[in-house]
Structure 1
């Protein structure tokens, strides 16, 4: 494959682009801003996310991938066009690039076809699709072609994908629509219920990332945020702690843990033995939550690993596939 080729992770929370021979060249929030009156795309990524909660009525904030589903294929086409344009702006020759696109596990045949067609319309010579759990496993350094069972838990923005992998495919694969964004909503509700204080989604996400923890014994940090005091109706400040975030997101963590246990119970004995030996691999943006590996290990009795930069492993997996066409042909979604 040529050096103009790109690997793309179309995540619910983040879009990540891998350039062959260069590594990660772009990491942007999965958000776009659209002018409804002019039917024109105004911003993509961080620029669009900075507009959340601050837009006039004619500007709409859209998440092109929500709850593991591609909500608007036409927007995805503009997003892919933006990625290629960004790569060109960095001085790369982007003539007819090949694209390997990691897609959510819940996407339908219609959505997959729409993504491939969108890639063709922006000038890609060929578009390959790969399921995000498979791409994440490859990016984590797992040899998925061996007759050896591995379990990957991908906790992203909108969904948690759980997959038992062996011989280049998913033996068991399930998705629940509970992940990072659900945690943000729980933090908002907790803050309103306990402190009579209103915060927005962006603030809740920042609290989760900066001081959040999944294991009670992790260090208790503190952070001051801005919001609205419900009693006075006036703007105000509030200090929250890691313990606050832990108790807020605990119901979501419990739901994910229960699903992991459910999958392990369904796993055939030979694969279960492999997983006990190999451990559980946790990836995705939420994998950065402090103590998550300790919580899962404690609750399941299985060693749990979080690779370096777990939010980027899917894009790194597409990067590995850019170099290994034989493996790509085995794992691509037809």
Structure 2
């Protein structure tokens, strides 16, 4: 399906370009029930796929009462988010905010304000390794598009001057955001799809549905548990292989699983691999011997931000940071096929790929 690039929220994880980060492994399909109790029914799974946020979004609700109206409502929710938080869609709130950079406070919706506020909180806690003002560098590198190439050093140095989350000022009472320097660009790509997953999950729960899977191009939200009371089984992508190959499985319910990795969007120039996760300190893709970071937690907004944050922090700092988040767990995969995890991951994750091993 063709779709103009300018009409989407570019996230630092795009399933349409290469492998998605996480693969669903549950056995059910659209015409087959998950449990013996419902096997006689023609279908207890209703699903719909959409092209939005520069990816394929698939929502599966495991309830025969789910209606076409539900999926229309979900479509409307996503379109609203796209119109609010797309960096590149002309006329969106975020686009207009960026156009207003250097011109004083700009009023935004409560939703946009809250997401920017959350992004700035992660920026503060990671000392700028998570950087919502990375937009000028993202535009310069243009990774994920046909004309991506290594920029000139002078251009990188110039754009780096525009990257500084401390120059974003918030006024919560008036719901305004100010970008202090002309040319600054806020990019919510590292948090926007997670926010969308949370919004969809809330809608599904509010309608009384207790079992669903939301897949935003590899950002997975497992709502409730599988029919029959079982945990969902989610595969964690092998970053060295094509889509569908996994290093292990996580068994979860009411959890979201999000991965950031070097294989999601990239290009190769003169034999060197350049991935999409940019270092706000150097202006180049992060280089720290990590291939991917996977987060398991309750809110997808946090999972989205954490996966990028920990990848940018690197293995040692990332492990220390995740241990300050008791509600979240992380899986780090290094370039030498070692798997490092946070202390509580054992209750979720089993390593199944013989080419990988837990680090001692």
Q: TM over 0.5: same fold?
A: no
**So what's the TM-score if we normalise by structure 1?**
0.29
Greater share of helix: 1
**So what's the TM-score if we normalise by structure 2?**
0.28
